[in-house]
């Protein structure tokens, strides 16, 4: 089943990035003052994320966030944008980690003692490739942890200097004590590790900073996007109730800004419907999925009134595919009550729920040309 692609987007910026000279993993040595360096790091991080070099994106964006937070007032436009993109990068990183874990567990039956069997279907990445991704994620985590920690401390109002002094005093007191039990030291280390936030938790915290900044600035367009990203974080965290709240907030804003045939609005109806299905609100879920179909049908009708071209014909095909797949989702939901009761959600619906928002909302992957602005 192909991924749904709702929005027809302007590809100019993506193509410019894609065609530019770029080596994954490049680091930035600006030689500029702090704010100019942060701006360059922000642009570099955005570029890396568009090219799916998530580790490099996180490194650049984390440093940009730190500099902006040190140099600018809280809630500044540049700082808010940097936090938003950093949150998006952390979300992608968490997805990568999740896919690595799921792939590692594939084929293992924990209820049996037999040798685990792992099958790699045609078209899937090999174990060697998956191991390479896992190593890259682990390496990036170790390399960038200090930056992440600094940013986390900034937006959680932790006094870094006092923490450093506290650490030193603790070290001195520990050094003066004799005969400390080794097991207690190990327990403390375990507790510290458990206290470290996951990438999903950090993504949510960072995106919340961006949400507050956009709200204060009255930037409704950006605020809608950050609500969408927050909803995606909640979906990854299986907190579907919160996802419904965030997707609803995003939908309300987009409906006030975009035309009636906006594919972006249809995409949010779709994602909201899936989140509602997983939270047990099946009637509301079907209503939103039907709304997505209705919007796409209006779009189809409007395209028929336009001068016909190859790009228009391609978008019509794309829309027809979207409509058909949403109808299949609605059919899948007919037995959702039984599936939820047994804890087994249909494979098709689970696959759709795990789709990345950009693959659902963008037509760029299929080469669909831009038609309209929404």
More confident call, 339 vs 362: 339
Cα distances (Å, whole numbers) of residue 317 to 2, 300, 320, 348, 368: 13, 10, 5, 22, 10
Question: Does 114 have pLDDT greater than 80?
Answer: no
- Beta-carbon contacts of residue 97 (< 8 Å; ≥ 6 apart): 137, 199
At 237 the three-state DSSP class reads coil
> For 216-251, what is each residue's pLDDT tens digit?
999 999 999 999 999 999 999 999 999 999 999 999
What confidence tier does 75 reach under pLDDT thresholds 50, 70, 90? confident
Query: Tokens 């530019």, residue?
Result: 20
From the list 282, 266, 228, the residue with the least C-alpha distance to 250 is: 228
Task: Return the domain boundaries, the chain.
Answer: 31-107+129-158+199-206, 219-366
User: Per-residue DSSP letters for 58-93?
Assistant: HHHHHHHHHHHHHHS-TT-HHHHHHHHHHHHHHHHH
222 neighbors 214 (Cβ within 8 angstroms): yes
* CATH number 1.25.40 given to 31-107+129-158+199-206: yes
Buried (b) or exposed (e) across 280-295, using 16+ Cβ within 10 A? Answer: ebbebbbebbebbbeb
pLDDT score recorded for residue 30: 46
Of the given ranges (27-31, 220-224, 258-262, 367-371), which has the lowest mean pLDDT?
A: 367-371
> For 118-137, what is each residue's pLDDT tens digit?
454 444 445 665 566 556 55
30 neighbors 37 (Cβ within 8 angstroms): yes
What confidence tier does 150 reach under pLDDT thresholds 50, 70, 90? low
More confident call, 231 vs 73: 231
More confident call, 138 vs 85: 85
φ/ψ (deg, to 5) at 319: -65, -40
Calculate helix-pair angle for 127-155, 54-71, nearest 10 degrees.
Answer: 10
The CATH number for 219-366, chosen from 3.30.110, 1.25.40, 1.10.8, 3.30.1490, is 1.25.40
More confident call, 186 vs 238: 238
Would 31-107+129-158+199-206 and 219-366 be classified into the same CATH topology?
Answer: yes
What confidence tier does 33 reach under pLDDT thresholds 50, 70, 90? confident
Question: Does 93 have pLDDT greater than 70?
Answer: yes
Question: Does 374 have pLDDT greater than 70?
Answer: no
- pTM for this predicted structure: 0.67
Strand partners for 7: 362
Question: Does 179 have pLDDT greater than 70?
Answer: no
Residues listed for the chain: 374
57 neighbors 48 (Cβ within 8 angstroms): yes
> For 55-70, what is each residue's pLDDT tens digit?
999 999 999 999 999 9
pLDDT score recorded for residue 333: 80
262 neighbors 236 (Cβ within 8 angstroms): no
C-alpha–C-alpha distance, residues 110 and 208, integer Å: 38
φ/ψ (deg, to 5) at 135: -65, -40
Question: Does 373 have pLDDT greater than 50?
Answer: no
pLDDT score recorded for residue 2: 36
| Token representation of residue 128 | 């060697």
Q: Mean pLDDT of all residues in the chain?
A: 74
Which segments of the chain does DSSP mark as H helices, in order?
A: 12-19, 34-50, 54-71, 77-105, 127-155, 160-176, 182-195, 199-217, 220-236, 240-257, 263-278, 282-304, 310-332, 336-342, 347-353, 357-361
């Amino acid at each position: 089943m192909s991924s749904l692609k709702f929005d027809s987007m302007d590809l100019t910026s993506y193509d410019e990035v894609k065609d530019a000279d770029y080596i994954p993993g490049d680091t930035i040595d600006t030689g500029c003052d702090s704010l100019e360096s942060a701006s360059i790091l922000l642009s570099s991080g955005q570029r890396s994320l568009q090219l799916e070099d998530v580790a490099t994106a996180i490194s650049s964006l984390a440093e940009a966030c730190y500099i902006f937070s040190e140099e600018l007032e809280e809630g500044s436009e540049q700082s808010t944008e940097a936090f938003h993109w950093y949150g998006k990068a952390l979300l992608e990183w968490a997805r990568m980690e999740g896919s690595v874990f799921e792939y590692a567990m594939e084929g293992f039956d924990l209820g049996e003692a037999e040798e685990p069997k792992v099958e790699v279907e045609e078209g899937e990445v090999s174990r060697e490739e998956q191991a390479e991704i896992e190593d890259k994620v682990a390496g990036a985590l170790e390399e960038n942890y200090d930056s992440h920690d600094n940013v986390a401390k900034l937006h959680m109002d932790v006094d870094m200097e006092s923490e450093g002094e506290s650490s030193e005093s603790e070290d001195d007191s520990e050094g003066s004590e004799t005969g400390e039990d080794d097991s207690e030291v190990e327990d403390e280390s375990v507790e510290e590790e458990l206290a470290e936030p996951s990438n999903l938790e950090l993504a949510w915290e960072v995106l919340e900073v961006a949400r507050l900044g956009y709200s204060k600035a009255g930037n409704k367009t950006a605020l809608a996007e950050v609500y969408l990203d927050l909803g995606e974080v909640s979906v990854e965290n299986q907190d579907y109730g919160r996802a419904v709240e965030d997707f609803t907030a995003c939908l309300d804003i987009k409906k006030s800004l975009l035309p009636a045939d906006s594919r972006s609005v249809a995409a949010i109806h779709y994602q909201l419907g899936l989140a509602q299905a997983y939270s047990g609100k099946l009637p509301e879920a079907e209503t939103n999925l039907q709304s997505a179909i209705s919007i796409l049908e209006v779009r189809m009708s409007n395209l028929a009134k336009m001068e016909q071209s190859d790009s228009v014909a391609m978008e019509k095909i794309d829309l027809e595919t979207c409509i058909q797949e949403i109808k299949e989702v609605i059919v899948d939901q007919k037995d959702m009550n039984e599936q939820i009761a047994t804890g087994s959600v249909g494979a098709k619906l689970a696959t759709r729920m795990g789709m990345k928002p950009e693959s659902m909302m963008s037509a760029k992957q299929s080469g669909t040309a831009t038609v309209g602005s929404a």
